[in-house]
Amino acid sequence: MTNFYGKGVCGGIALGKVYVADRERRHIRRIGIKDVKEQLGRFETAKEKAREQLSHIYEKALIEVGETNAEIFSIHMMMLEDEDYNESVINIIETQKVNAEYAVDVTGENFARMFANMDDAYMRARQADVRDVSQRIVSCMSEGEEKEGEMDDNVIVCAHDLSPSETVVLDKSKVLGFVTSHGSSNSHTAILARNMALPAVIGVGDKFLESIDDGDFIIVDGYDGRIIVNPDGETIEAYKKKRQKDLHKKELLKNLKGKENVTLDGRKINIYANIGSAENIGDVLYNDAGGIGLFRSEFLYLEREDFPSEQEQFEVYKTVLESMAGKKVVIRTLDIGADKQAEYFCLEKEENPALGLRAIRICLTRPEIFKTQLRALYRASVYGNLAIMFPMIVNVWEIEKIFSLCEEVKKELCEGGIRYSENVEIGIMIETPASAIISDILAPRLDFFSIGTNDLTQYTLACDRQNPSLEQFCDTHHTALLRLIKYACDSAHKNGAWVGICGELASDTSLTEEFIKMGIDELSVSPSQVLSVREKVRSIRIE
Ligand code: PEP
Ligand code: MG
Predicted confidence at residue 65, as pLDDT, reads: 56
CB 218 within 8 A of CB 176: no
Q: Average of pLDDT values for 134-153?
A: 69
CA angle 225, 228, 231 (to 5 degrees): 155
Question: Ligand 1: which atom is nearest the Cα of residue 191?
Answer: 8
Which residue is closest in CA terms to ligand 1's atom 8?
454
- pLDDT tens column, 38-47: 999 999 999 9
Atom of ligand 1 nearest to the CA of 450: 5
Over the stretch 179-202, which tens digit does the pLDDT of each residue have?
Answer: 998 877 766 677 778 877 889 999
Q: Are residues 83 and 189 in the same domain?
A: no
- Measured CA to CA, the distance from residue 283 to residue 275 in angstroms comes to 9
Q: How far is the CA of 342 from the centre of ligand 2 (A)?
A: 17
pLDDT given for residue 92 in this prediction: 94
Please report which ligand is nearest the Cα atom of 453.
Answer: 1
Q: Please report, for residues 255, 262, 320, 355, 510, the alpha-carbon distance to residue 539 in angstroms, rounded to integers and kept in the order given.
A: 15, 9, 32, 40, 12
Our mutation pick for probing the ligand 1 site, out of 292, 455, 474, 508, counting the most ligand atoms within 8 A of Cβ, is 455
Nearest-CA residue for ligand 1 atom 4 is: 452
For residue 294, the ligand 1 atom closest to its alpha carbon is: 5
Candidates 222, 256, 221, 49; CA nearest to 144 is 49
Task: Considering the candidates 188, 363, 463, 474, report the single residue annotated as catalytic.
Answer: 188
Please tell me the predicted confidence (pLDDT) of residue 147.
Answer: 39
CB 30 within 8 A of CB 52: no
Which of 302, 270, 330, 289 has its CA nearest to residue 192?
302
The pLDDT value recorded for residue 114 is 85
Q: Which of the residue ranges 36-40, 92-96, 158-162 would you say has the lowest mean pLDDT?
A: 158-162
Answer for the pair 527, 285: CB distance below 8 angstroms, yes or no: no
Kindly state whether residues 90 and 187 are assigned to the same domain: no
Ligand 2 centre to CA of 332 (Å) is 10
pLDDT at 163: 65
pLDDT value at 144 more than 60? no
Q: Would you say 19 and 155 are in contact if contact means Cβ atoms under 8 Å apart? A: yes
- Mean pLDDT throughout 93-97? 93
* Mean pLDDT, the chain, integer: 90
451 and 418 co-located in one domain: yes
Ligand 1: which atom is nearest the Cα of residue 274? Answer: 5
Ligand nearest to the CA of 188: 1
Say which ligand is closest to the CA of 295: 1
Listed residues 204, 227, 252: the one ending a domain: 252
Ligand 1 centroid distance, CA of 350 (Å): 20
In 3D space, the residue among 289, 378, 278, 266 whose CA is nearest the CA of residue 320 turns out to be 278
66 and 132 fall within a common domain: yes
Beta carbons of 159 and 21 less than 8 angstroms apart? yes
Cα 489 to middle of ligand 2, angstroms? 18
pLDDT at res. 66: 62
Q: Who contacts 415 (Cβ-Cβ below 8 Å, separation ≥6)?
A: none
Q: Quick one: what percent of the chain has pLDDT higher than 70? A: 93
User: Does residue 148 or residue 121 have the better pLDDT?
Assistant: 121
* Domain co-membership, 247 together with 280: no
**Can you give the CATH number for the domain in which 478 is found?**
3.20.20.60
Question: Is there a catalytic annotation at residue 346?
Answer: no
| Residue 393 domain flag | yes
Residue 208 domain-assigned (yes or no): yes
The pLDDT assigned to 28 comes to: 74
Higher pLDDT, 445 or 149: 445
Mark whether 132 and 14 lie in a shared domain. no
Query: What is the reported pLDDT for 150?
Result: 65
Residues 455-490 pLDDT 10s: 999 999 999 988 878 888 999 999 999 999 999 999
Whether residue 232 is predicted with pLDDT greater than 90 in this model: the reply is yes
CATH of the domain at 30: 1.10.274.10
**β-strands 226-229, 2-5: how paired?**
antiparallel
- 79-88, 148-157, 209-218, 434-443, range with greatest mean pLDDT: 434-443
* 451 CA: nearest ligand 1 atom: 3
Distance (Å, whole) CA 339 – CA 353: 8
Domain boundary (123, 141, 159) is at 141
Residues with CB under 6 A from ligand 1: 294, 296, 335, 431, 452-455, 502-503
What residue's CA is closest to ligand 1, atom 3? Answer: 452
Whether residues 295 and 207 share a domain: the answer is: no
The pLDDT, as a whole number, for residue 356 is 94
The amino acid present at 168, given as its one-letter code, is V
Q: How does pLDDT run across 353-373, given as a tens digit for each residue?
A: 999 999 999 999 999 999 999
How far, in Å, from the CA of 391 to the mean position of ligand 2?
7
pLDDT of 26 above 60: no
Tally of domains in the chain: 3
Residue 188: predicted pLDDT: 65
Question: For 256-267, what is the mean pLDDT?
Answer: 96
Q: Is the pLDDT of residue 164 over 60?
A: no
**Ramachandran angles phi, psi of 423, nearest 5°:** -105, 30
- For 28, 37, 200, 362, the CA distances from 210, given in Å and listed in that order, are 17, 36, 19, 39
Mutate to test the pocket of ligand 1, among 185, 192, 275, 335 (most ligand atoms within 8 A of CB): 335
Tell whether 147 is covered by a domain. no
Answer yes or no: do 50 and 85 share one domain. yes
Which residue has its alpha carbon closest to ligand 1 atom 7? 454
Please indicate, yes or no, if residue 471 is contained in any of the structural domains. yes
- Using the mean position of ligand 1's atoms as its centre, give its distance from the Cα of residue 485 in Å: 15
Distance of CA 431 from the midpoint of ligand 1 (Å): 8
Instruction: Give the residue, out of 340, 449, 454, 461, with the most ligand 1 atoms within 8 A of its beta carbon, to mutate for a pocket test.
Output: 454
Q: What is the pLDDT of residue 169?
A: 63
Mean pLDDT value of segment 253-275: 96
Nearest ligand to the CA atom of 481: 1
Q: Which of 34-38, 324-328, 466-470 has the lowest mean pLDDT?
A: 466-470
Last residue of a domain, one of 252, 279, 296: 252
Q: Which ligand is nearest to the CA of 274?
A: 1
47 and 74, same domain (yes or no): yes
- 232 and 191 housed in the same domain: yes
Please tell me the distance from the alpha carbon of residue 302 to that of residue 297, in angstroms, as a whole number: 10
Mean pLDDT of 49-67: 77
Task: Give the pLDDT confidence score for residue 503 in this predicted structure.
Answer: 97
Q: Among the atoms of ligand 1, which is closest to the Cα of residue 391?
A: 6
Same-domain pairing of 74 and 211: no
Q: Kindly state whether residue 151 falls inside one of the protein's structural domains.
A: no
Q: How far is the CA of 173 from the centre of ligand 1 (A)?
A: 25
| Residues 499-508, mean pLDDT to the nearest whole number | 97
The pLDDT assigned to 6 comes to 92
Same-domain check for residues 223 and 79: no
Q: Is residue 150 part of a domain?
A: no
Q: Summarize the confidence of residues 236-261 as an average pLDDT.
A: 93
| DSSP per-residue string spanning 495-526 | TT-EEEE-SGGGG-TTSHHHHHHHT--EEEE-
Residue span of the structural domain in which 82 resides? 25-141
Tell me which of 363, 406, 474, 502 is the catalytic residue: 502
CATH number for the domain spanning 225: value is 3.50.30.10
- Is 188 a residue of the active site? yes
Within a domain: 11: yes
223 domain-assigned: yes
